[in-house]
Structure 1
Amino acid sequence: MSKNSIQRIPSILQLLADGDLLAEELDDIWEKAPKFPDVTASAARIDVDSFVQVYRDIDDLFEDDGEESNPEQSTAAALEPTETKETPQVDDQTEDVDKTMEDELESVFNSIADGNGLISKQALMNWDEIEKLVSDGLLGSDEFEELWGKTKKSLGADDKLDIDGFLSFNVALDSLFEFSDEEMEEDDDDDSVGEDIVRGQLVEEGDRSPQELFASLAGADGLVSKGDLMRWAELLELIDEGELSMSELDGIFTANAVAEKLDETRFLAFYKAIDDLFEYDVNDESDESSTADQKVPGAVATNDPPSSKTTLLGMLEALNEDNDLLPCGLEASDREQANILKVINMLEQESANLIRSKQGVVDENDLAGNWELLYSSSSAMKFNKGLSGLGGSFPNGKFGGLKMRLDSSKYMSDVEYTERISVTPEAASFDVTVTGDWTLRQSISLFTGEPSITLAITPERVNYGPTSTRADHWKSLGPLNMLDVAYLDKDLRIMRGSTSLDTVFVFRRVA
């Protein structure tokens, strides 16, 4: 049984849709469940015993430790188990098929195993099922050898399979014919554009328009919640395969939702924001990307496209909500960084960018003010776990954020960074301040050959507690000393490394 099969069980699907079971919780439970060893199938699978464990773990999330329990909050009621927990009854055809197949395979194993309860390679080849597949030309000897080589052997018997190995071999064997089986399935509703293609309450987009998809996902109130989105099959597949992280999904949803719901217009904006994350994959002509393209929702034609700025801020807000991670994206995954960079690339091309609309004619007054760092992909800051590096050097300390003040007048241009070092207990936390001068310079981009505006900073002093030192001793300050201004509006500033376009800093103006 695969993870997708678990998600498609109606009762579990309803818990996800209602928000009673979070996707992260289901992910954790799935990861803890034992899988078939060395399975060569495209997705990991579990047997009946592991499914029972998954079922119990979900039920345990709703156990009430208090004496006065509320039966309405019990997952047992939501999942509708049978009289005993050991044998939960699930109205799911996939589960029934898997259980029947396992019983049959155990019977076969017992019939061909030797006295020690093991099966040799030759005995497996003599199994009438294998002989028939080989004689019919459906299984080649090289394929058999590959399956045998990848299947985990019994402990202490390197050339024989125990029951677990035999089941694992058969799961891998089935995966060779999985696509052909699906291709042979007939769906009488394929030609009906107006009908929903629903499998166990999951909605497949297929050839629907985004408007039709919205109608299929919307609840009784005519709106789409985050739980309703968990019924969108293609979206679940992107999440399941790591193409879209939950933080990215949360950020885009938050940026477009009102009162945690999407009406049709906002759903179309959400839809296009997801699609925009994969715009480069769609243009990739490689076979691998072509396969991935089939999973990406098609482009949406709408006169009210989502703001790239709103999408970016939503993604960064979701990224910074995890208090277990360093702020400002210093521990963002490669995938999250890549998607954020794609949105930044789009934002820089919009007319709201003063660098474009004013053709680079900006001055110090346009940048002067107080700013806070929202995000950085700087490898140096990641390595130092902050700007100064002091956060990682103090016991129980870590980087807690960065603010920048740019002052400008006729006679001077001063800069001051304030880096927060959060320490446990909070009373021990402190600030690191860096002071110096700044100026704007007209230069030529090393990458495009076009004129660019560079913010040049000369740090002079570093102060924290009673300590005050010259800034030229602090090599960690280097990432902010010379940056190109790539985007600027009244409350957002995006800087890029002058020698690395992938190094970005996103600042938001604060009072």
Structure 2
Amino acid sequence: AAPKFPDVNEDQKERVDVDSFIQIYRDIDDIFEEEDGNDTEADPIDSDSTEVLMNDEAGNGGIDDARAENTSEDEEERDEKELEIAFRSICDEAGLVSKEALRQWDEVRDLLDEGMLGEDEFETIWERTLKSPGSADLLDVDGFLSFNVDLDDLFVFEDEEMMQAADEDSNQTQWDAKKEPKMKKNIVVGDDLPPGVIFAELADDDFLLGFDDLKRWGELQEMLDEGDLSPIELQNIYDEVVKAPGTTDRLNEDGFVALYDAIESLFEEEDDDEGNARDGDKKSFRSDLLAFISRINSDEEKLPCGLECTEQEQQQVLDLVSAMEAGSSNAAKEKGGNIIPSDVAGNWELLFSSSSAMKFNKGLSGLGGSFPNGSFGGLVQKLQSSKYMSDIEYVERINVRPGSNSFDVRVTGDWKLGSSVNLFSGEPTTIMSVEPDRVTYGPTSTRADHWKSLGPLNKLDITYLDDDLRIMRGTTSTDTIFIFKRC
């Protein structure tokens, strides 16, 4: 026991001085040092384990990392054993594997079939894998394991990329979620959807939509992308539409329908303009042709019907005729060779002909050039049709000076229509065939088969037809044309 203070009173026997206190402290400390020594002998822990425990307490891996490392090593050993088993299943009797056998291995074949491994990648790994000693194209078990290591590396890289992409997608998703708390709506697609359906898809929960909501209207975006509608035009239309009550920039269903109709009207106007332009072109060709022929025939010094026009004038007429024949208003083209007699029955005046025979004969019959002071004065074709007969009559006017001596030449006969195919275009056409019977002028009447000059009009293709204009061409000479107008 520690000594007490010297010379103390009886009531002070339990008190100690400083030296005694220090001694007591040391004795107590020695007791705990002995206990620590006993614990160390009973449960010794090496320094490494102590460090592991300390690291674990500090949150730096510790025992869990050690266990994970051991688990990873166990998995590698297990994988290697599985690969050795696979190797034995595909190797030959010498314990070697060829490239073809490796290609047919289930693991490789599945990767190739699914497109996860390319042929070029397979070839590259095969080429750089060490072959069995003494062989240039066979693998032993070590080469097989090496091949699989390289094969796994391809997908480890892909897995890292996928994990990185997944992290980026996750971050982007979180960012987008912060920016757009509401679910993104789909694009409204479909041609010719009713405006009510489109509005229902575009509108919000309050059945209203704003200008930005129009970006989800697929058909409208196509119009903007293709330049059919400009952004300024769209904005102007939107601004002019009456907005929903209580708002300054949003549309209800009525407003959207008004917007829809306004956009549609733009294209209807364009269609009308195009249609009018086409109709205008047709009318322009027709009016140009009639005006040009009228100018040719206005020269009283020349024979009518263009029989004495120039080559340039004739070519211009042919060009205008070709343009008219190609037009959609051409009934002859629309009917496709199915013109019927009632379509052409009536009286028709010859306006123009490029027939070389008529030019040579100076008319249909040739009598105009054979009479003194006589000349061709014009031609009218009269077509009559009924259930029982189809009669034709040509009335050719012969002008003779003085005018009191002028007379008519009449050619009568039969006519018919027939469907055929144009020799030059290969398209269906209607042919008018005429069989002249008699030629009569004054007191003279003779059989028409003696009049060879009538031949050019006996068989012609009807190439253009409308209500009061008919154009016919020669079946073997397309530059031979006859232009008739109802009279």
Tell me which structure has the larger Cα radius of gyration: 2
Is the TM value for this pair above 0.5?
A: no
User: Normalised by the size of structure 1, how large is the TM-score?
Assistant: 0.40
Relative to its length, the structure with more helix (as a share) is: 2
